[in-house]
Amino acid sequence: MGEISRRDFLNGAALTIAASLTPFEQLKAQAARRGVYPPALAGLRGSTDEAYAVIHEVAREGRRYSIDTLEADERYDLVIVGSGLAGLTAAWTYRDRQPNARILILDNHDDFGGHARRNEFRVGKRLLLSYGGSESMVAPASHYSGDLANILSALRLRPERFERESVFHRKLYPGLGLSKSVFFDREHFGEDRLVTGDPLLLGFDEFAPLNPGARTPDAFLADCPLSNEARRGLSELFAGMRDYMAGQTTEQKVATLARTSYRTFLTDTCKLPAAAADFFQGRSSDNFGYGIDAIAAIDAMSEGFPGAAALNIQERMGGHADDRGPYIHHFPDGNASLARALVRSLVADAAPGRTMDDLVSTVFDYSALDRLGAQVRLRLNSTAVVVRNARDGGVDVGYVRDGTLRRVSARNAVIATYNSVMPFVCPELEP
Ligand SMILES: Cc1cc2nc3c(=O)[nH]c(=O)nc-3n(C[C@H](O)[C@H](O)[C@H](O)COP(=O)(O)OP(=O)(O)OC[C@H]3O[C@@H](n4cnc5c(N)ncnc54)[C@H](O)[C@@H]3O)c2cc1C
């Protein structure tokens, strides 16, 4: 058991320095959080106004915190700002190389994992899981090599297990006679119609590469509520035999496609009618979050949207062929399980178990994440506002929790957050 730190004492006393909350409000906030299990909370979750209140004041309103007159509450070998996959992996790697290192991880959210978050729902006696952020390990066989493969192995995570039918039921929908389909709505196409057997396979698809139930483009298009002109144009586009930019060099084509939306490429370059462009309009939303009017044509085509086949620009398109493999390497809570595996390894008291299977259902004890005397401590609801080199060659870090500014010192620090915020917090970093 380590010594009682000044911070732990102050936690109880709730001393306010540079505070925007009264001591009573701080105690109330602490009490409200006691026993809270963030993955099961309902309502607006994640990057809420509350989670960002402190850093928005710094970045938007110019508030600056001074830690000059504060003494360091605690000392660590390493302080990490950000408990996303990058910060947690940094902690794991550091501890792997320096097994006795004392590490503090700070994060402004109420849960760890950054963009890799977990949602839990109870429906009767059943536990339902979903991801609240990033979903899948993309092509782990080729992308997750070297150090990353070693970390997964040490955590007993074997992504290839998802390829088993018993783990990821890829035959479920095809087995029921279902296929990928497109819904045409009355507002854009004059009638509501669902057309099955969609031949278009885009990136990050669990049905890649076979697309069971897909029909030929012409058979599929024949059932779509489109004009003959739109059908003909789409048929030619899918066939991929026409160079719509004939006469231009590869450089010119690539430059044009990079500054032209895919929608404009379809209507202005390929001369397709608007209804043909409407056919693709929302289909980029899944991966990009935008319609095809806001996606560069070259990015859309790198993702699998048709039109590039005869342009002879394949080598200049982004995306990896490997990414077209089945998008099935994920836990029920997506990449949150990767974060949970890292935290379980770093903070042994936080969760029982050692396997990939028990990781899915185990309930984490959030009160153990930041326990006095632990070698690795993970402190949530804590926003770093100052990170600077110290005179002794180490690093000083100031952070705000419950309205109170605190200072910790460390031999090293890792900043694993958003680039846009760090110049305000650590001006010493080169932009
Ligand atoms: C829509 C979308 C879908 C994605 N899907 C996938 C996917 O399926 N598979 C995949 O591999 N990748 C996916 N990604 C990318 C993936 O989410 C990120 O690459 C990865 O999660 C980034 O991890 P990180 O640790 O760098 O950052 P983050 O996860 O953002 O973690 C950084 C953490 O630091 C915290 N922080 C910031 N400033 C401070 C501060 N001053 N003090 C304390 N804490 C701070 C942040 O709030 C956050 O919790 C997706 C990205 C997006 C946008």
| Closest CA to ligand 1's atom 6 | 134
Whether 194 is in a domain gets the answer yes
User: Do 19 and 125 sit in the same domain of this protein?
Assistant: yes
What is the Cα–Cα distance from 382 to 190, expressed in whole angstroms? 53
User: Do 285 and 186 sit in the same domain of this protein?
Assistant: yes
Give the domain range for residue 419.
Answer: 6-129+364-425
What residue type is 383 in one-letter code? T
Whether 139 is in a domain gets the answer no
Judge if the beta carbon of residue 425 lies within 6 A of ligand 1: yes
Whether 81 is in a domain gets the answer yes
Amino acid 349: pLDDT: 92
User: Do 17 and 125 sit in the same domain of this protein?
Assistant: yes
What is the Cα–Cα distance from 111 to 177, expressed in whole angstroms? 40
Short-list 374, 343, 258, 282, CA closest to 8: 374
Number of domains in the chain: 2
Q: How far is the CA of 395 from the centre of ligand 1 (A)?
A: 24
User: Do 106 and 11 sit in the same domain of this protein?
Assistant: yes
Judge if the beta carbon of residue 132 lies within 6 A of ligand 1: no
| Closest CA to ligand 1's atom 14 | 134
Short-list 4, 37, 47, CA closest to 350: 37
Judge if the beta carbon of residue 291 lies within 6 A of ligand 1: no
pLDDT (tens, 9 = 90+) of the chain, 431 residues, equals: 334 344 443 333 333 333 455 655 665 566 566 678 999 999 888 999 999 999 999 999 999 999 999 999 999 999 999 999 999 999 999 999 999 999 999 999 999 999 999 999 999 999 999 998 899 998 898 888 899 999 999 999 999 999 999 999 999 999 999 999 999 999 999 999 999 999 999 988 889 889 999 999 999 999 999 999 999 999 999 999 999 999 999 999 999 999 999 999 999 999 999 999 999 999 999 888 999 999 999 999 999 999 999 999 988 887 666 667 889 999 999 999 999 999 999 998 999 999 999 999 999 999 999 999 999 999 999 999 999 999 999 999 999 999 999 999 999 999 999 888 889 999 998 76
User: Do 317 and 378 sit in the same domain of this protein?
Assistant: no
Whether 347 is in a domain gets the answer no
Q: How far is the CA of 83 from the centre of ligand 1 (A)?
A: 9
Q: How far is the CA of 419 from the centre of ligand 1 (A)?
A: 11
User: Do 287 and 390 sit in the same domain of this protein?
Assistant: no
User: Do 186 and 313 sit in the same domain of this protein?
Assistant: yes
> Could you report the per-residue pLDDT of 70-98, keeping only the tens digit for each?
999 999 999 999 999 999 999 999 999 99
Q: How far is the CA of 85 from the centre of ligand 1 (A)?
A: 7
Helices (H) and strands (E) in the chain, counts: 18, 10
Judge if the beta carbon of residue 135 lies within 6 A of ligand 1: yes
User: Do 242 and 293 sit in the same domain of this protein?
Assistant: yes
What is the Cα–Cα distance from 103 to 70, expressed in whole angstroms? 21
Amino acid 39: pLDDT: 96
| Closest CA to ligand 1's atom 21 | 115
Buried b (16+ CB within 10 A) or exposed e, 124-135: eeeeebebbbbb
Token duo for residue 335: 């990449």
Length of the chain: 431
Judge if the beta carbon of residue 416 lies within 6 A of ligand 1: yes
What is the Cα–Cα distance from 414 to 222, expressed in whole angstroms? 57
Judge if the beta carbon of residue 86 lies within 6 A of ligand 1: yes
Judge if the beta carbon of residue 82 lies within 6 A of ligand 1: yes
Of 324, 353, 385, which closes a domain? 324
Greatest Cα pair distance, the chain, in angstroms, is 79
**Closest ligand 1 atom number to CA of residue 112:** 49
CATH code of residue 24 = 3.50.50.60
Whether 331 is in a domain gets the answer no
Amino acid 270: pLDDT: 98
User: Do 125 and 185 sit in the same domain of this protein?
Assistant: no
**Closest ligand 1 atom number to CA of residue 55:** 41
Judge if the beta carbon of residue 383 lies within 6 A of ligand 1: yes
**Closest ligand 1 atom number to CA of residue 422:** 41
User: Do 195 and 283 sit in the same domain of this protein?
Assistant: yes
Token duo for residue 71: 């003494």
Amino acid 13: pLDDT: 35
| Closest CA to ligand 1's atom 13 | 134
Q: How far is the CA of 196 from the centre of ligand 1 (A)?
A: 35
